Amino acid sequence: MDLSLTDEQSSFREIAREFLDKEAVPHRVEWDRREAVDLAIVPKMAELGFFGLTIPEEYGGVGGDYVTYAIGMEELGRADSALRGIVSVSSGLVGKSILYFGTEEQKQEYLPRLATAQILGCFGLTEPDIGSDAGNLTSKARRDGDDWVISGQKLFITNGTWADIALVFARTGGEGPRGISAFIVPTDSEGFEAREIKGKLGLRGQATAELFLTDVRVPASAMLGEEGHGFKIAMSSLDKGRIAVAAGCVGIVQGCLETAVDYATSRTQFGRPIGSFQLVQDMIADISLDADAARLLVWRAADLCDRGEKFGVAASKAKLYASEAAVRAANHAIQVYGGSGYIDEYPAAKYLRDARVMTLYEGTSQIQKLLIGRAETGINAFT
């Protein structure tokens, strides 16, 4: 078993960290306070290859492996999870779905632009009344001649107001998961409206939106995959997406470790650095352990994916563990900082607010446990 990174993977980590330390870390507090990152960073990130990781070179990507992708997501999570979300939704959830399920025309049309962030994508699955139970979504698409006409509402959609295309899941057939199809919808289509949701606890630099589709007309060629395969496409994208979320969480844990150690070795109380107290080291040891455990789970899931083996349950375990670890680590980091940890001038508070959503989206922690429990027992406990 070789857990060392290749030279390419190590050098990508170094380049990514150097770039983000310069271009993102100094601005993340301001972006968080004004609830929007500066989108001028997007083309710079694209130049470094963040959006093209794992999209093959023939479609304009850089064609890296999943472990490299996980390293990129980790570095983004360490710097600013708002940026991680932009990449992992646009080139991950949307780009990967097109890569695996799209026609050659769809791949040629969208992948080169997604891989270079000339366009951004959003992933429209969740609805106001349907979250974890996505197989029962209610948005509808009806056939009208050569077109599909889509109506419905989507909630909490990352990149929603920034995206050029939306991958929209809508019901084309009967009840349940088999009645769902996926559509690539240009967001400038008539009847498509995105409204930003303000006031989030974390990920405040990222656009999260409500989508309203009122008789949005798209040609038959906008359907991704076959009719009735939408749910399969959504679940397959989320399996891979969970590796990205988990990797971003490893970045949060790593960031918490670095900042907690930094503070513990420089802050003095009772005439000694607080890092010399055993109770402070106890918290730092917990963060350090979580960083290693979460990273190993992420790398295992990514490696299984790279080998073409089944990785869904490994991705669920990585996402469950890493997201809960990120919340624990950020809480510890705040405790190490004392009162200063409560102020956004120091990174721990933002890490906690950003980490909190990771246990909710792309399947809550409860849903990950049900997936793992089903794999272990063979019993479906979802309903």
Residues that bind ligand FAD (CB under 6 A): 89, 123-126, 131-132, 156-158, 200, 203, 208, 357, 360-362, 364, 366-367, 370, 382
* Euclidean distance between CA atoms 258 and 264, whole angstroms: 10
* Euclidean distance between CA atoms 23 and 170, whole angstroms: 38
* Euclidean distance between CA atoms 298 and 245, whole angstroms: 10
Q: Which residue is nearest to ligand FAD (CB)?
A: 131
Nearest residue (CB) to ligand FAD, 211 versus 336: 211
Q: Measured on CA atoms in the order 227, 228, 232, 235, is the torsion positive or negative?
A: positive
DSSP 220: G
Which one, of 254, 241, 348, 331, lies nearest residue 294 by Cα?
254
Look-up of token digits 């996926």: 182
CB of 159 to ligand FAD, least distance (A): 7
* Euclidean distance between CA atoms 62 and 70, whole angstroms: 14
Q: What angle do CA 351, 359, 14 make, to 5 degrees?
A: 45
How far from the centroid of its chain's Cα atoms is residue 351's Cα? 15
Number of H helices, E strands in the chain: 12, 10
Nearest residue (CB) to ligand FAD, 185 versus 274: 185
Nearest residue (CB) to ligand FAD, 48 versus 370: 370
362 is catalytic: yes
Which one, of 28, 5, 12, lies nearest residue 204 by Cα?
28
CB of 367 to ligand FAD, least distance (A): 6
Nearest residue (CB) to ligand FAD, 284 versus 315: 315
Nearest residue (CB) to ligand FAD, 281 versus 364: 364
Residue 223: strand, helix, or coil: strand
Nearest residue (CB) to ligand FAD, 342 versus 382: 382
Of these residues, 74, 75, 324, 362, which one is catalytic?
A: 362
Residue 83: strand, helix, or coil: helix
Nearest residue (CB) to ligand FAD, 166 versus 257: 166
How many CB atoms neighbour CB 199 within 10 A? 6
CB of 82 to ligand FAD, least distance (A): 10
3-state SS, one letter per residue, for 253-284? HHHHHHHHHHHHHHCEECCEEHHHCHHHHHHH
* Euclidean distance between CA atoms 52 and 92, whole angstroms: 9
CB of 160 to ligand FAD, least distance (A): 7
| Residues with catalytic roles | 362
